């Protein structure tokens, strides 16, 4: 009898310990399937959290009448690891969109950024956040006849496995969910697939020789015939659908001997961008151009080193014209006007 009592007590202790051990994993399972109102791609988020601890908490708040929605998922965290896995914030009100874009482009608009893969309507900002901007056909136009848009910012935590395709898969899922919850009605996005993963905007971008850039979004530079191809390299910091982007042209610096960006051509799409060239002291008018794209303003500009051997001011202006015309052609814009 005593032996059975001992066995029963031992079994109860083992089962109790098993339940205690299993609890964090049950909590992980539950949070992965309920966080962000059940919109997270479970396998992708597990991949993002591979370097962290167990999941601890999730939050979600939606205010369709105010045009905002947000959610987050956290790790347990400790003195070595951060406690944030991801944070998403979404906005449809124009004032909110303008504010968010002003944060990442506060002055001239030539701030650090990186492009997303072809077809994705977004960019990676200087903080490493994934920004996606989509039209909202289900929402009413504003007083000026402009169709609302949805801006979704996905921020991944310090210990999140950032540079992986799972990051795009998660950001796309969150954008599609935000569109549904805010009544945006945007056509669902698809992750780029394959091995496409976000790149670190703080790292030097990949460049190719000017002569090999003809099949890129920045191919206009070699086609212009204004630069000696052997002396220049191109960093393509834009795609065919993002609201911002740049073509940076590199040449060797006479003092350092290093290849450095000497000519930077930027494009910004949306009325929010007009402040970048309208406010006094930001950009010289002669270095800008404007157009109309999808019923809103598009702005183009050149930032350069003042003294570039072999490239005079007239050629710089011709290069800006070639850049702006190609952007207008690619995006189906109208009413191109050169500043100055």
Same domain, 46 and 125: yes
| The pLDDT value given to residue 252 | 86
Choosing from 181, 216, 243, the residue where a domain stops is 181
Q: Is residue 103 part of a domain?
A: yes
Examine residue 293 and state whether it is found in any structural domain, yes or no: yes
* Shared domain check, 39 and 152: yes
Kindly state whether residue 197 falls inside one of the protein's structural domains.
no
* Tens-digit pLDDT profile for residues 31-81: 889 999 999 999 999 999 887 678 888 999 999 999 999 999 998 766 555
User: Is 75 in the same domain as 126?
Assistant: yes
- Residues 177, 85, single domain; the answer is yes
pLDDT of 14 reads: 37
**Residue 30 CB partners (closer than 8 Å, separation 6+):** none
73 and 58 Cβ atoms separated by less than 8 Å: yes
Residues 164 and 212 in one domain: no
The reply to whether 187 falls in a domain is no
Residue 163 shares a structural domain with residue 73? yes
* Long-range residue pairs from 307-311, CB within 8 A, at least 24 positions apart, any chain: 308/251, 308/262, 308/263, 309/254, 310/228, 310/231, 311/226, 311/227, 311/262, 311/263
Whether residues 175 and 212 share a domain: the answer is no
How many structural domains comprise the chain? 2
Spatial separation of the C-alpha atoms in residues 126 and 321, rounded to whole Å: 27
How much is the pLDDT for 309?
79
What are the C-alpha distances in Å from 53 to residues 159, 160, 168, 191, 257? 10, 11, 22, 26, 46
State the DSSP code for 188. P
Q: What are the two backbone dihedrals, phi and then psi, of residue 177, each rounded to the nearest 5 degrees?
A: -65, -45
d(CA 290, CA 299): 5
Q: Is residue 203 part of a domain?
A: no
The CA-atom distances, in angstroms, between 300 and each of 108, 182, 245 are 11, 31, 10
Give the domain extent around 28.
24-181
> Per the domain annotation, does 194 fall within a domain?
no
pLDDT of 20 over the 90 cut? no
For 233, 252, 283, 304, the CA distances from 261, given in Å and listed in that order, are 9, 9, 18, 8
- Give domain status of residue 239, yes or no: yes
Is 97 in the same domain as 241? no
Question: What pTM was computed for the model?
Answer: 0.89
In a domain, 139, yes or no: yes
Q: Are residues 159 and 218 in the same domain?
A: no
Position 18 pLDDT exceeds 50: no
Q: What average pLDDT score do residues 323-335 get?
A: 96
Q: What is the pLDDT of residue 279?
A: 64
The answer to whether residues 207 and 261 touch, using CB atoms and an 8 Å cutoff, is no
One domain, residues 157 and 85: yes
What pLDDT is recorded for position 2?
40
Q: Please choose, from the candidates 56, 109, 84, the residue with its C-alpha nearest in 3D space to the C-alpha of residue 282.
A: 109
Instruction: Based on the fold, state whether residues 161 and 265 are members of the same structural domain.
Output: no
Do 60 and 163 share a domain, yes or no?
A: yes
Question: What is the C-alpha separation between 300 and 160, in angstroms, rounded?
Answer: 35
């Amino acid at each position: 009898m005593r032996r059975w009592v001992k066995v029963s007590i031992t079994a109860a202790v083992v089962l109790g310990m098993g339940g205690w051990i299993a609890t964090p994993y049950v909590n992980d399972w539950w949070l992965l399937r309920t966080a962000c109102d059940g919109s997270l791609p479970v396998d992708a988020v597990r991949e993002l959290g591979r370097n962290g601890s167990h999941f601890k908490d999730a939050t979600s708040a939606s205010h369709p009448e105010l045009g905002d929605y947000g959610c987050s998922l956290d790790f347990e965290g400790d003195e070595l690891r951060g406690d944030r896995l991801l944070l998403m914030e979404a906005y449809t009100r124009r004032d909110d969109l303008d504010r968010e874009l002003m944060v990442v482009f506060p002055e001239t608009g030539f701030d650090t950024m990186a492009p997303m893969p072809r077809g994705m309507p977004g960019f990676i900002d200087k903080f490493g956040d994934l920004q996606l901007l989509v039209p909202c056909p289900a929402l009413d136009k504003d007083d000026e006849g402009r169709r609302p848009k949805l801006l979704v910012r996905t921020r991944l935590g310090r210990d999140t496995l950032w540079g992986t395709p799972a990051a795009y898969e998660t950001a796309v899922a969150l954008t599609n969910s935000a569109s549904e919850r805010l009544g945006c009605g945007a056509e669902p996005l698809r992750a780029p697939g394959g091995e496409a993963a976000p790149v670190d905007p703080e790292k030097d971008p990949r460049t190719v020789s000017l002569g090999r850039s003809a099949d890129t979004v920045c191919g206009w530079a070699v086609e212009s015939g204004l630069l000696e191809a052997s002396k220049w390299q191109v960093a393509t910091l834009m795609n065919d659908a993002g609201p911002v982007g740049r073509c940076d042209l590199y040449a060797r610096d006479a003092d350092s001997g290093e290849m450095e960006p000497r000519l930077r051509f930027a494009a910004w799409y949306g009325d929010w961008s007009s402040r970048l060239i309208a406010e006094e002291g930001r950009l010289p008018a002669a270095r800008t151009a404007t157009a109309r794209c999808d019923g809103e303003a598009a702005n183009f500009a050149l930032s350069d080193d003042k003294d570039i051997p072999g490239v005079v001011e007239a050629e710089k202006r011709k290069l800006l014209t070639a850049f702006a015309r190609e952007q207008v052609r690619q995006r189906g814009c109208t009413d191109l006007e050169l500043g100055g």
